[in-house]
């Protein structure tokens, strides 16, 4: 492990798939850390599906969203080294836009963030089985997680189908020796019997903790700040 990573506490946020609200929950995580008095930073190796500003520059949408929700003052340019326009998997976007991901660049950017912040949250792209380069050189998201020695939080939608997607993701990560700290269920509706049962079944099936239930439209993470910070590891 590089020297810049040693003292920083870090965690990885993955999802059961695309559009489960991973970026939204990540923003709430950083907001909670900031409000509890911790210097919190954000990082993402590659993000695709971004729009262009008037001057033609690509806007790192996920990074700006996290910054707005959390209130952190981190410059967006530091939050993600590879920003793509095409709304496809990063490996394909990078090939279409002739800007391949280089693991050394991802590592250097991550190390810079770790030098400046005490708690760094790295967000994945899509689910855990996500290629970020596949053009002769092969890089998968899990390669990045393993290289940086990160434990993970799993974000899942609380609705229909989540028992299957949570279980498959958890079992895949276990088989690959990628540690999971627990699950945050997004778009949860209190009193909804199906969603409450989904949470119970996921916990029973995986043995993981339900760390938080994020209600639709919530602007706070219903989780103790000390407990959240305790999930991060050097």
Catalytic residues: 44
Query: Is residue 130 classed as helix, strand or coil in its secondary structure?
Result: coil
Alpha-carbon torsion (186, 201, 130, 104), positive or negative: positive
Residue 102 Cα distances to 81, 86, 185, angstroms: 10, 18, 32
Q: How far apart are CA 129 and CA 144, in angstroms?
A: 12
Q: Which residue shows structure tokens 């981190």?
A: 74
Q: How far apart are CA 167 and CA 157, in angstroms?
A: 13
Q: Which residue shows structure tokens 């999971």?
A: 180
Contact 214, 186 (CB under 8 A): yes
Contact 22, 123 (CB under 8 A): yes
Contact 15, 127 (CB under 8 A): yes
CA-based diameter of the chain, in Å?
51
Closest CA to 90 of 37, 139, 123: 139
Query: Is residue 28 classed as helix, strand or coil in its secondary structure?
Result: helix
């Amino acid at each position: 492990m590089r020297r810049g990573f040693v003292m920083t506490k870090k965690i990885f946020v993955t999802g059961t798939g695309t559009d489960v609200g991973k970026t939204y929950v990540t923003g709430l995580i950083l907001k909670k850390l900031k409000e509890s008095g911790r210097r919190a930073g954000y990082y993402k190796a590659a993000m695709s599906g971004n729009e262009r500003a008037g001057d033609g520059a690509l806007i790192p949408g996920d990074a700006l969203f996290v910054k707005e929700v959390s209130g952190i003052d981190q410059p967006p340019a530091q939050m993600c080294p590879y920003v793509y326009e095409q709304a496809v998997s990063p490996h394909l976007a990078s090939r279409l836009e002739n800007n391949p991901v280089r693991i050394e660049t991802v590592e250097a950017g991550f190390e810079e963030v770790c030098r400046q912040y005490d708690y760094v949250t790295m967000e994945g792209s899509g689910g855990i089985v996500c290629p970020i380069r596949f053009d002769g050189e092969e890089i998968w998201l899990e390669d990045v997680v393993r290289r940086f020695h990160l434990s993970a939080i799993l974000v899942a939608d609380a609705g229909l189908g989540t028992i299957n997607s949570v279980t498959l993701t958890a079992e895949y990560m276990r088989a690959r020796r990628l540690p999971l700290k627990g699950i945050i269920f997004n778009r949860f509706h209190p009193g909804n019997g199906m969603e409450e049962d989904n949470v119970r079944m996921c916990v029973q099936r995986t043995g993981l903790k339900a760390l938080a239930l994020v209600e639709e439209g919530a602007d706070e993470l219903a989780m103790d700040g000390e407990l959240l910070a305790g999930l991060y590891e050097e």
